[in-house]
Each structure stands twice: as structure tokens, then as C-alpha cells.
Structure 1
Amino acid sequence: MLSSEMTATQKAMPAADPGLTMELLELELSLDGFTTGPDGFSAHVRAAVGAIDGALLFELPASGLVADCDRIAVLRIPKDGSITMATIFACLETGGTKIRIETPDETTADLKNFAEAFVDVLQRI
């Protein structure tokens, strides 16, 4: 596929771990039909990630952390059907009508680290 033919979701995602391919694809397909607006964001993401045995850790305002994004849901999804989990973000785009998936990068590394520490604390309880 030529880079000019890539979808917005593909452009938003840096090269992902190959072990995430099926889970990411399934999650993106589940999120594709989002129509409920900002009020339904959390519930829609929770249902979609639950369908692939993942978890919604928390949701927060984007506060400029991710471009063209109003809210971020921090998710944990299985890597290629294994028990190993990966942290990714579901981003509610400005306007509240579309959700895109992003993998952590240098601008969101602190959020990813916080999420992983959050999981570590929960596992110790």
C-alpha cells in the first residue's frame, strides 16, 4: 500500500509490535461504528476492549497531550492472544464523533508509565 493511501488510523499509529496485530484490528473494528458522542465514549471503549479480553484502566481529558483529541482512554490489551498485556490509548477526536487508537510514543511515555504503575499497584492489592 502506498503511504498516500493510508487511512488516518494507520497514520496515527507508529509501527506497532507485530504481536498486537489481531487484537488491534479487532479493537479498531469494534470502535469504528462509534456514534454516541462524548457521553458514550467510556462505555463504548469499555465494551470494545472487553470483547478482546482487555481492560479500560481509566479515562481522562487529553489536555493537549495528543493532537486533535478531547479524551484519552488508557487500555490494556493482550499481545497476540497471550497473557502478556500492552498499554495503548483510545483517543476521542475533537468533535466527539470518532475514536482512533494510538500506541505510546515519546510524548505519551509518562502516561504509559503511570498506567503501568497503576496496574502494578492493583496487582499487589
Structure 2
Amino acid sequence: MTDDIDALIANTLKDEDRALLARAGAEPGYFHQLGEAFGGPTGWVNVVLMITQTLLFIGGVWAAWRFFQATEALEALRWGLPSAVLILSSLMLKLAIWPVIHANRTIHALRRLELQLALRRQARD
């Protein structure tokens, strides 16, 4: 649907307007959006979250390794429960970054919309 709207907008614009819209840029890719999540004034928070998430995941994998090597039920519980908690905690921290990515996508879409409205306003004047 987005491609259809973009194609419709591109067909209705003048050459000068197309050049201006091209400077605004197309929808950035996923990895570019992920990189933007680690920049800006609050990027350090996401860096800390990712470091913490990585440490929790490594600890969870280590505890899972010990769980699978356990020979007794009590020892398996001793390593299995912390493993599950650490891995799930790391997943929750990773999911905390997704709203930042979606907020950046929304801001990018709003900027494109503002540019289109400005172009229409210029065309009327």
C-alpha cells in the first residue's frame, strides 16, 4: 500500500518537487533504522540496554549449558530456572528497543507528510 501511495505522489509532482522529495529520502531500511535507535540524545540508553541484554543472554546460555549437563533433578532446577529467567529477561530488554524504531519511523513519515503539504502550499501560492 505504501508503494502505491508513493507512486501516486511521484506521478503528480513536478520535476522540481520530485527533486525536493528525493532529498527527503525514501523509507530507510531496517538496519538503518536500528542504527538510528543508538544515536541521538537518548541513544546511550539503548546502548546500555543492549549491553545488559547481551550479558543476560550470555548468562542464560551458560546456565542452560549447566542445566543440560545436570545429572540430578535438584541440580537441573538450580540451573534451569535461572536460565529461563535470564533468557526471557534478555528478550524483554531487546523488545524495549522496538518502540524507539517505530517512533523514528513515525517521525520520518511525518516529515515526508510535512514536506508534501509544504509543496502543495507552494503550488497554491
Q: Identify the TM-score tier after normalising by the shorter chain.
A: under 0.3
Higher share in helix? 2
User: Normalising by the residue count of structure 2, what TM-score does the alignment of the two structures yield?
Assistant: 0.24
Q: Which has the higher strand share?
A: 1
